[in-house]
Structure 1
Amino acid sequence: MKIYASLALMLLTVMLCLSCKEEKKVQTVRKVQKVVAPKGPRVMGDNTVSRKVGWVGGIYTVEVKRHADKTLSKASDGSHDYYDNAISVRILRQNGSEFFSRKFTKADFKAKVDEQYYRTGALLGIVFVRSEGADLVFAASVGNPDKSSDEYVPLVLKISKLGTVTITQDEELE
């Protein structure tokens, strides 16, 4: 019986020692990384689109090339600055000779957009839409340079068979 009492006393002593032991506290270490903001103005993205078109009895190649032009005034979406775009439109005859070539900037559309869009917006794009009689019809837009924004002024740019350019606001969105 003494053995059982001694064993019980030792077990009780061990349990007391273990229960009074101070537990280690685990601390989670979080490492905060700084988000590196891009320095300088952003670029909206350069691209080139080339398309063959049947127009006034012949086959023409319409080439539209957009690129960021660092010589132009910068555009802004309110929180970031962007380089404005220059867009070159070339129309080539079937034999490869050049019928039309012009570099468009936001300044070409100044009369058709309000002061706010002209001051802070960018020339977003020019896209060939269709041939319509003696004209090639393009959609153009000036607006907020942020890709996720839908704030822009829709415009219609027409190039006639004589090479004259007409710009109007797009009254009906297609």
Structure 2
Amino acid sequence: MTEKSTKKYNVWIWILSIAIPVAVAVLFKVRIPGVERLGFLPPIYASINGLTAFLLIVAVIMVRNGNRSIHELLMKTCIVLSVLFLIMYVAYHMTSDATPYGGEGAIRYVYYFILITHIVLSVTIIPFVLVTYVRAITGNFQKHKKIARITFPLWLYVAITGVIVYVMIAPYY
């Protein structure tokens, strides 16, 4: 890969890493008039998070066992699943008001800790995933491996805590 094409990817990484969280924040304020609440989506996008977590683990096992082609397929699938999650998540919030958490006592603090770290890391993970992916597709496997050691646990945490947040708030929908 040439230096020029790597720089082109870096520009796109910056654009997407900023545009995606900004778009999500803006779209959270938008309500689609005349569209019925999409209340069926939360269990679907929580399941997508769970599937993503599972596939991330399998992908790491595959690459450690030397099966790079299956690893690549699984990682691309995780990216697609993350995009689908994001689309459904935004669609739900464009048709529904936020659901307040109804738990009381110490569990309330646990919920908000998990929720806040999930949100912060879900924004943080975007450039990590993109850089890790670009390093793989450009054949820079040494650097890919180095950043993947950071990306994997962060992405896995975001996927797992997405499921936990859903399970904790589901009784209050």
Structure with bigger strand share is: 1
Q: Which has the larger radius of gyration?
A: 1
* TM-score bucket of the superposed structures, by smaller chain: under 0.3
Q: Which has the higher contact order (CA 8 A, sep 6+)?
A: 2
